[in-house]
Amino acid sequence: MIKIGIILGSTRPGRNGEAVARWVLEQASRRTDATFDLIDLAEHHLPALDEPVPPARGQYTNEHTKAWARIVAQYDGYVIVTPEYNHSAPGVLKNALDRVYGEWNNKAAAFVSYGAQGGVRAVEQLRVTLSALQIAHVSAQVSLGLATDFVRFREFKPSDHQHGVLAGTLDQLITWSTAMATIRQSAEIAS
């Protein structure tokens, strides 16, 4: 069965992302076509990139990088939950993506973003990064507005239509994750 990691990409105290990520996990866990885990970056010690060799070489020296590589490697796809900070994604999320390379390759990802404008600018920039990591990112995405999906900008209360948007996004992600798993298996057989 396909295994999906839901990456909570904010570590800021008082973050809105925790409620959003838990909503994604709750909705996703009702499905029978994949399993889902929450990966909270606040629970992983990932300092600014401190590996002496570029991650694309796969020669990790630090234990925290090796542990992160094992976590990333076990999933077929990812839901990236991200706020928008200054028209981009949080640095902690970019650092987590940049830290390893081969473990991301030939997998799929989807986005659930939030912010004043739904977090769409953060996702635009993350799509470029994911392409460089050879992660197929689906076009469907959930964009949550602070004024429409949060009470007083703090208490997460998604609009009713967002449940359907999330379901469609997960449909695409699972389809692509399944296809990418086949590609990875073919590459393993060939090598």
Instruction: CATH number of the domain at 165, please.
Output: 3.40.50.360
- Calculated CA dihedral for residues 175, 89, 124, 3, nearest 10 degrees: -10
Beta strands 155-156 and 150-151, pairing class = antiparallel
Q: Answer yes or no: are the C-beta atoms of 134 and 121 closer than 8 Å.
A: no
In the numeric block, which tokens belong to residue 130? Answer: 């994911």
Note the helical H segments in the chain. Answer: 17-28, 63-73, 91-99, 120-132, 161-190
Percent of the chain at pLDDT > 70 equals: 99
Crossing angle (nearest 10°) for helices 161-190 and 17-28: 70
- If one counts the domains in the chain, the total is 1
Q: Rounded CA gap, 110 and 24, in Å?
A: 11
Residue 18 has pLDDT above 80, yes or no: yes
Q: Under DSSP, is residue 42 helix (H, G, I), strand (E, B) or coil?
A: helix
Confidence (pLDDT) at 189 = 80
Confidence (pLDDT) at 186 = 84
Q: DSSP class of residue 127?
A: H
Confidence (pLDDT) at 16 = 96
Q: What is the gyration radius of the CA atoms in the chain, in angstroms?
A: 16
Note the helical H segments in 29-160. Answer: 63-73, 91-99, 120-132
Query: What is the extent of the structural domain holding 108?
Result: 2-190
Q: DSSP class of residue 50?
A: -
Confidence (pLDDT) at 158 = 98
Q: Which residues contact residue 116 at a Cβ distance below 8 angstroms, ignoring those fewer than 6 apart? A: 84, 145, 146, 147
In the numeric block, which tokens belong to residue 183? Answer: 């590609």
Which amino acid belongs to residue 54? P
Q: Under DSSP, is residue 111 helix (H, G, I), strand (E, B) or coil?
A: strand
Confidence (pLDDT) at 121 = 97
Each residue of 83-141: pLDDT tens digit?
999 999 999 999 999 999 999 999 999 999 999 999 999 999 999 999 999 999 999 99
Residue 190 has pLDDT above 80, yes or no: no
pLDDT band at 169 (very low <50, low <70, confident <90, very high): very high
